[in-house]
Each structure stands twice: as structure tokens, then as C-alpha cells.
Amino acid sequence: MTYVIGEETDDCPTVTFLLSPLSLSGAVGCQAFGIRLIEARLGMKMLTEMGSNRSLSGMREAESLTDALERAESYCRVCKTSSPMVCVERCDVWRVKHEIVETRRVVGEGNHMRYLLNVLKNKRRWKALDALCERSRSGKELQRTLREVGFRHSRQTILEAYLKPMIKVGLVRDDGVVFKVTFYGRKTHDILAGIGSLNSLLPLHSCCYEEVVLKELAKPRTFNELTASVPQKSLSRILMRLRARGLLVKSARTDYVFYHRAKGKPKMKLSPTEKRVLNNIPQVGVPASQLSKVVGINLRRTYKYLRRLREKKLVFALKVHRTYELTVQGREIVNILNEMEKLALSSLNTPIPIAHILPR
């Protein structure tokens, strides 16, 4: 005859044992039963944690928040737990799911990218985020870590000036005892890991006009074209800042007027020099300084013959405005900004699980 003994724990579902009467007789049997019960509890807990860790590893490899949520959902569909509260209190996968849903709400608020960039442009906040990515820390531990890198502040200052702004934009969460980096915060940190804080490249407490200009310069643009995206009264100052930080340059061309040939063949008689000037004007146009070198006459005479050819309707002039272009470092910053925006927008495409508060 065997006895079926069930034991339900907070860590794992009901554990069932099949024992014979011999195993329950005497102190030896009781001791053996206790050992087997403890081993079963630990074994079930280890299996649960191993599965959760594998799932978390897969979620961290996800390219977007939508992909991460789908991987979490696939794990939860096959997970069996004794009580929903076990997931709420102890499951890291459920925690990440809840963070992604919360990120969707935070990103949906107005001007999220502007607030996020201004948070990350602070060097001290970046150091705090970097420390929290290593491991979760209490306020006291974070204060000690920041002191080691030269930032001496009170715990109240660290909380109010550094942690609360990061909590507001969804990078960090307060767990009551310690502060933890969110899944969104870790992915954002990974994107910026190559350059670190943005404070040395972009101005603090800005309206993010510099970032707008950098993204608009995906292809060379003139000053007038940029005024469509940024207030004209601020644009000159913005361009000056970005040039000083080596993120953009003015086009190397200094000539503003290009001369072009009109269509058709000349019907009137031309002098030998006029013919030479006309025949050396390419289809794409040429500035007068370059044309004078090709024809072999000085610039003053070049303008004289160009004026004659314009009077005969054989040549016309077009004014070309100076353009602004990104440097190599400027393109790297634009790529990072695009990745951050793509990550944030991916949260808006995440479906809200019906049971994201009480899992299956």
C-alpha cells in the first residue's frame, strides 16, 4: 500500500510523493521523507528559475519591445504556477512584461523623446544608470558608487535630481528597498554604451532643436530648408554649436553663382574668345573662377564675356546656396538617435496583455 502526500509551496506547484509504509516507519523514515521533500522543493524551484533565466536571456536579445513581449508571452503560456501571486511577487519574466506595458504608457505621453534625451545628457544620471545596469542598488550603495567616481552628493539630491527624472521616463524603477534598471532602461543603455553620456556633444536643458537639425541633415540642406523644421531666430546659434562640436560642416564650395549654357546652338556670330568661353561651360554649370582657369583668361575678362553671352541669351546664371552636411561623428549620433526613437516607438506597437496584472 502506498500513500499520496501533497505539498504546496509558494515557490512551486503542488509536489506529489508516492511513499510506502516502510519509508514512513520510525525516525529514519520520517527523516528520509523530510529530505526528499526538501530536495523536491529545491528541484522544482531550480527548474523554474532555470526556465525563467533562459527566457530573460532570450528577451534581452530581442531587437524591440514588441519582440520581447512576444517572447515573454510564449514563456507564460507554458508556465504552470500554483498561484498568480507567485508570478507577481517572484517571477522576473512577469516583471519585465509589466515594465514593457508601463513603458507603453510613458512613451505615449507628449514630448517623451525630448525628456528622455535631456535626462541622458546629464553626466551624473548616466553614471547612476551605468551603475544600476551592473546590479540593483539601494540609495546608500548608489551614493557610495557615485562618490568613487568623483560625484559627492547627498542621498536626497541623488533621489530628487538623478533618480526621479529617470523613473519618470521609464529607465529606472523604485522597488521599495533598491532601485532597479528597467528593461527599457537597459536597452537604451546598450544603445548609448559606445559613446556614453551625450552631455559633451549636445547642450543640456534644450528644446532638442540640435537633434532635429542633425536628423534633417540626413542629406545636405541649405539654411532656408532647415528653417522649415527649426525657428529661424535660433537656427544660426544651433548650427554654430553643432559645428563647434564637430557634428556638421559647411560645404567646401565658396562660389555661389554657377553659369549654365542655354539649350540650342548659337545663331549669331561669336568672337573666338566668346566661343571658347561658351564651349567650356559644362552641362552641370561652372563658377566664373573655375571657368577663367580652363579658358586661360583672367577673372575680369571672364566676367566680361559671360555678360556678353548672357545678353545674347546663350548663358544664364543660377545662385547656389551653401549647404550643411554631417561629419562622420554627426552620422554616428544620428544613427543612435534613430535607434533610440525606434526602440521607444516599438513600445507603442506592443499589445497590452489582458492578464498582464494577473498572469495565467
In this predicted structure, what is the pLDDT of residue 156? Answer: 94
Separation of alpha carbons 332 and 238, rounded Å: 18
Q: Is-above-0.85 flag for pTM?
A: no
Q: CA-based angle 348:351:355, to the nearest 5?
A: 135
Supply the DSSP symbol for 202.
Answer: S
In this predicted structure, what is the pLDDT of residue 291? Answer: 93
Q: CA-based angle 124:117:352, to the nearest 5?
A: 115
Using DSSP's 3-state secondary structure scheme, residue 218 falls into coil
Cell of residue 121, nine digits: 545628457
Q: In which residue are the cell numbers 498582464 written? A: 356
Are 189 and 174 in contact by the 8 Å Cβ rule? The answer is no
Q: Where are the domains of the chain?
A: 3-61, 100-203+344-348, 257-319
Is the fold of 100-203+344-348 the same as that of 257-319?
Answer: yes
Residue-level pLDDT, tens digit, the chain, 360 residues: 333 334 444 344 333 333 444 333 444 444 444 444 334 343 433 334 334 444 556 566 676 777 777 777 777 777 777 677 777 777 777 787 778 888 888 888 888 999 999 999 888 999 999 999 999 999 999 999 999 999 999 999 999 999 999 999 999 999 888 999 998 998 899 998 877 667 778 888 888 899 999 999 988 888 888 999 999 899 999 999 999 999 999 886 655 788 999 988 888 889 999 999 999 999 888 889 899 999 999 999 999 999 999 999 999 998 877 789 999 999 999 999 999 999 888 877 766 654 444 444
In this predicted structure, what is the pLDDT of residue 166? Answer: 95
What is the topology classification, in CATH, of domain 100-203+344-348?
Arc Repressor Mutant, subunit A (1.10.10)
What is the topology classification, in CATH, of domain 257-319?
Arc Repressor Mutant, subunit A (1.10.10)
Could you count the other beta carbons within 10 Å of the beta carbon of residue 246?
A: 12
Separation of alpha carbons 12 and 46, rounded Å: 10
Q: How many helices (H) and strands (E) does the chain have?
A: 18, 9
